[in-house]
Amino acid sequence: MGGQFSRVIVTYDPNGSLVNMHRSQGSDLGLAGGLLGWEADDPRLLEYESHLQRAGIEVRVCYESFGADHPNTYHLRLTNPTTEHTLLAVSLGGGMIEVRQIDDQQITLTGGSYVLYDSADRKLLAQSTKPFEPQQIKAFAHARLLKPVLPVLDSDGSPDFVNGSQMAEIGRRRGLNLPQLALRHESARSGLADVQIREQVGRVLAVMRSAYEDGLRGTSYADRILPSQVGGLQAARQQDRMVGGEPMHDVIEAITAVLETKSSMGPIVAAPTAGSCGVLPGTLLGLSRRIAWTDEQLIDALLCAGIIGVFIAEGATFAAEEGGCMAECGSASGMVAAALVYLLGGTLSESIAAASLALQNSLGMICDPVGNRVEAPCLGKNTMAGLNAMAAANMALAGYQHLVPLDEVVAAMNQVGKALPRELRCTGLGGLSVTPTSRRIDLRVNGVTQRLENADLDRMNVTTGR
């Protein structure tokens, strides 16, 4: 569109999850930020509706069955006085988006490449991981340049392992530990040198630490369900009213702090998702209050967690709309369990065993947000996932037998996700989401008393912006 559009019609299929979740869980906010050309941490996002009005952009959200085959499907129709274009995309969880269609052109774009698109003939012209030269763009009269949005571009490189068993075999033969194997995989996929990858992971660690420290100081935000809980936890610790050891308290406090930064609209890292963002940083940074891990060690730990996440993303999903909270907090638990084993001096096989154990303990965890917000029972599930990771790491280090290999557990996770009823996969239609208390909270914070439960309620719309 060349940045010129005055009206956007966004259509969600009632058979998916976005009809019930798009406003309360931030999809509208993120979509508006993209239409306005902002980054994800832009502070103006909180007033996106007024900015849409000032920009002269009308956004209309419609509910209409159109045969979407993914629960997080976005259909956009953008118009200005002279032209119109459409876009179909899906959200895969953890901030990952895949564009599947522009106009009538079937396409696969994941944001990791430069794309030339002919806006007149409506067809893909070229796609590359390298920037196009000006003369390449000028060769086409109506070429539009779509720039990559991901920090790591696609690469022609092919990793030499794609699952846990292959990785373990290469590690054994070559004497490589888990972070070294993670670097090997990431370098092959991205074409980046190890030092560049570690620098990027270091920036991720800095955002995680900032979210943790901001949350510890206490947060406030008018439009949320739970007030800050971390202060009560800190007071109970001082009064010696807590059961368990200090490291466990540190982890609970840290996970709570990160989740409360998220619920107050502060920047966090989707690790692997926003709904599970407290597990990985909370467990690692909470424990590092008593175990003096350096930043270099914590970067190693994030690499360990990341490679386990790769296997989950490839073999199952991070999206609660596809796999329940098992896909979010369960995945995070398996990822951090492997990282903890590495930090505590465990072997590669023990890290893989810990990830397997943590995931086994998480199969079937449903996603049923109270009041349609990512606050409760998300806080409790994040805490449980962190403590589960600690237990799984200890079990692996103690030589407990995990029995089922990690790859088979991921496959089982994918199977369980497909078997979960739609109502228990982040639709607001089952579990705690439909209790009387949750409905009262829904009315208070969202102005909604009954979720849209079937396609009979489609073709509704709400207009924002101009």
What are 47-69's pLDDT values in tens digits? 999 999 999 999 999 999 999 99
Query: What pTM was computed for the model?
Result: 0.90
How far apart CA 53 and CA 466 sit, in angstroms, is 5
Structure-block tokens of residue 383? 């805490």
Within 8 A by CB and 6+ apart from 235, the residues are none
**Measured CA angle at 306 (ends 383, 358), to 5 deg:** 45
Residue pair 140/116 in contact by the 8 Å Cβ criterion: yes
pLDDT above 70: percentage of residues in the chain: 96
| DSSP class of 121 | T
Chain-wide mean pLDDT for the chain?
A: 92
Q: Note the pLDDT of residue 96.
A: 84
**Mean pLDDT of the region 176-201:** 95
Inter-axis angle of helices 378-397 and 246-263, to 10 degrees?
140
pLDDT of 94 above 90: no
Within 8 A by CB and 6+ apart from 381, the residues are 276, 325, 329, 365
**Mean pLDDT of the region 151-166:** 86
Tell the burial category of 432 from Cβ atoms under 10 Å away from its Cβ (0-12, 13-18, 19+). Answer: middle
Q: Which of 146-155, 240-249, 370-379 has the lowest mean pLDDT?
A: 146-155
pLDDT of 88 above 90: yes
Residue pair 144/119 in contact by the 8 Å Cβ criterion: yes
